[in-house]
Structure 1
Amino acid sequence: MTQADAIRHKAALTGWLGSDQWIRYLAADGLPEYGPSAWPDQWPSASLKERMALFTTDELIPLEAWQDADTIYADAAMCDMVTAAAQTFPQQRVRREEFLAPIGFLFFAKPVPSAAFEVLLPDQPPVTAITWACVDDGVNAFTWIRTPAGAYDVNGVTVQVTALFPQLAYFVPWDKPAHAGTHSVSLLRTLSALSRQPLTREDSPKIHQSVRANARNAKVRPESFRRIALRRPEAATHELAAARAIAEGRTPAGHWVRGHWRNQYYASVDEHRPLWIEGFPRGDFSQQAPAGERLLVARGDRAGTGQ
């Protein structure tokens, strides 16, 4: 996905979230968290029209909030780094101020695994985008997958969708821990934390006039577009390879001392925040790994070894 594609998707998706097709999708029980879990008594016997009425009377996020939301674009190398680093993100409480923005759209230059290396969800398609909103009681995030735009059957209800289809929803209350590497909030937290580290850079690239017109027609602010990239993109490939090797229990040729998170204490704010300690290469990557060679894995402030 290019940067121009991201803005076009943002414009199309914003319009869809402000249409009755979004409510129709929710009423069709496309996301169980927004149906039977929210209204267990009314839901089983309610008609589609009655279910849609439940959502229209509920306090859904207004269209204007989505139009003003930040648009974040993670470049290709950043996608690899997020996938690798999400596996070991510290198990700490979710805070409102840790996210890139109170509400936003995150687009990946290339799809990332929805559950990273988690084996519990092997059939889930990769994620193209994440939308999130910080609400009163927690953070709510959706993953979106790439599909052809058109009409889809959702539990017997026909729903018109854009080229992005809502796949999974995940909600985490404030001050509650969230598991690492297995859901959209984990990926979003990882990118948010990495964006504050010295290894990344952020800019607002110039947008082509034709794309700006597309954004204006959807009442989307093109100036809200932010690109996040790695200063040393080559490191992402090594981090991802090391993470996969560890997950699969194998040792790659040479070895990359994998980067890791440190739960760093900041006295000025009296709290711990994740600090990424960058990985580095060691050994000859041009040679096959000899039998018995070990892969060094950094854990916390100490380096351990794994076969």
Structure 2
Amino acid sequence: MDKMGRYSEALDAQMELLHFWSQPSNKAAHEYIWVETLGMDRGAISLEMDFTLRILEIAEPFYVSAPICELLYQAAKSIPQTWTLTEDLLYVPAGFAWLSSPFHTVEDEFPSCAVAWASFTMGDKGWWMPMSLDADGHHGVAISYFDKLEGFPALLPQAFMFIGFGGNLVEMESLQPGGKMFNDVSGRLRASLFATLMTFLRQRILVSPRFLADRATRRRLERASRGPRTNEVRVVTLRSIERRGKGGHRDVEWSCRWIVRGHWRNQWYPSAKHHQPKWIAPYMKGPEDKPLRHSERLFAVVR
């Protein structure tokens, strides 16, 4: 399969999920699983499905390759729970990220193959309602994960969460409180993955140029009775390193090379007047012609 074929998997998956869960019989089966089997609230489950279908209609598809997935998963494990959702941190109002390497929260739970999100507003009766992309008054973001169940014909939308602007990861709530299929560890990891993805895109550690989907995918989209609004896919990739010119009155000659590990910094943002976790990406420091050292002791020559 060529690159465009792989990238188009994101839009194909988005179309397939929208088609499958739009069918009344499949929606009824989903409701039965959660209400009759697990004892969840019928109104909340119905709202979750309606919101999920709306997200799939308006979301921009993102393709996330396996190496980028692993980078996100590792960083998500250590993101500070003080991470706060702000409007400017939301990379796009609605998105569908296809994870080519599934996300495992804990060993006994189903792997997530995609995550979708969209802005919401509070309705008159206290329900969270999806917004049109050009509307004002967004209150936060709703997030849905799509999990792979062995033998099930489609990915199952699960772990529906929402977070208001100004809220942090600790305050993130779920429309499935106390759900038997999810525990606190799983919920925190899912929320942390979304936060890490948004942060990396906003910091431009990751970039997401648009590519036209392949011809076969575009044809399927044209034939679909209900489908996403775009025939393009955002491909998430690492930003190219920008080399800075030499400057200053002193040069440093390092006697070796070493790896600076990736880590989170609690960065102060004066314009926003609050701290926000900022990821410091791992990188190699030191001249290329020097040996790589693993010792914590590093030596430099300054002249």
Q: TM-score range by the shorter chain?
A: 0.5 to 0.7
Per-residue deviation, 1:213:
1.0
> Would you say how many aligned residue pairs link Structure 1 and Structure 2?
240
Q: With the length of structure 2 as denominator, give the TM-score of the two structures.
A: 0.64
Partner residue of 1:140?
142
- Find the partner of 2:237 among 229, 235, 240: 229
Aligned 8 A contact 1:77 1:230 in 2: no
SS in 2 for 1:12: helix
Is 1:191 the counterpart of 2:197 in the alignment?
Answer: yes
Instruction: Quote the offset at 1:13 in angstroms.
Output: 0.7
Question: Residue 105 of structure 1 aligns to which amino acid in structure 2?
Answer: F
Question: Which residue number corresponds to residue 246 of structure 1?
Answer: none
Query: Which whole-Å CA distance do the structure 2 matches of 1:22 and 1:269 have between them?
Result: 44
Q: For residues 215 and 271 of structure 1, do their structure 2 counterparts lie closer, same or farther at Cα, with a shift above 3 Å needed?
A: farther
Distance 2:285 2:163 in 1: 39
Equivalent of residue 34 in structure 2, options 12, 30, 51: 30
Alignment of 1:117-128 (within 5 A): 121-128=106-113
Give 1:294 shift.
6.8
Residues 169-215 of structure 1, C-alpha deviations (whole Å, 9 max, x = no match)? 33434433215983322211111110122432221123211111112
Q: What is the deviation of 1:84?
A: 1.2
**Counterpart position of 1:237:** none
Structure 2 residue 77 is matched with structure 1 residue 74: no
Q: 1:64 to 1:168 in 2, by over 3 A?
A: closer
How far apart are 1:10 and its partner, in Å?
0.9
Counterpart in the other structure of 2:8? 4
Deviations 1:85-143 (A, max 9, x none): 11122323333542332322110122222x2xxxxx32123321112233225433222
User: Structure 1 residues 38 and 62 mapped into 2: Cα distance closer, same or farther (>3 Å)?
Assistant: closer
Structure 2 partner of 1:204 = 210
Question: What are the ranges of 5 or more consecutive residues in structure 1 without an aligned counterpart?
Answer: 41-53, 116-120, 153-160, 234-253, 296-307
Q: Partner of 1:213 in structure 2? A: 219
Q: What's the TM-score once normalised by structure 1's chain length?
A: 0.63
**Deviation by residue 1:19-59 (Cα, 9 ceiling, x = unmatched):** 32453144214389x9634669xxxxxxxxxxxxx838x99
Stretches of structure 2 that go unaligned for 5 or more consecutive residues are: 123-139, 171-184, 242-256, 298-303
**Matches of residues 268-307 of structure 1 in structure 2 within 5 Å?**
268-281=271-284
Matched letter for residue 141 of structure 1: I
CA contact (8 A) 2:69 2:99 kept: yes
Q: What SS does the aligned partner of 2:203 have?
A: coil
Contact 2:35 2:41 in 1 (8 A): no
CA distance in 2, matches of 1:65, 1:171: 13
Within the alignment, does 1:102 sit opposite 2:93 as a pair?
yes
Alpha-carbon RMSD across the aligned residues, in angstroms, is 3.9
Which residue number corresponds to residue 130 of structure 1?
Answer: 115
Structure 1 residues 35 and 189: alpha-carbon distance in aligned structure 2, compared to 1, 3 A threshold: farther
CA contact (8 A) 2:64 2:97 kept: yes
User: Do the aligned partners of residues 22 and 173 (structure 1) sit closer, same or farther apart at CA in structure 2, a change above 3 Å counting?
Assistant: farther
| C-alpha distance 176-224 of structure 1, shift in aligned 2 (>3 A) | same
Paired amino acid for 2:143: A
CA shift in 2, pair 1:191/1:5, >3 Å: same
1:61 alignment partner, SS class:
helix
Alpha-carbon distance, 1:81 to partner: 1.1
Shift of 1:224: 4.7
Mapped to 1, the partners of 2:35 and 2:141 lie a distance apart of 16
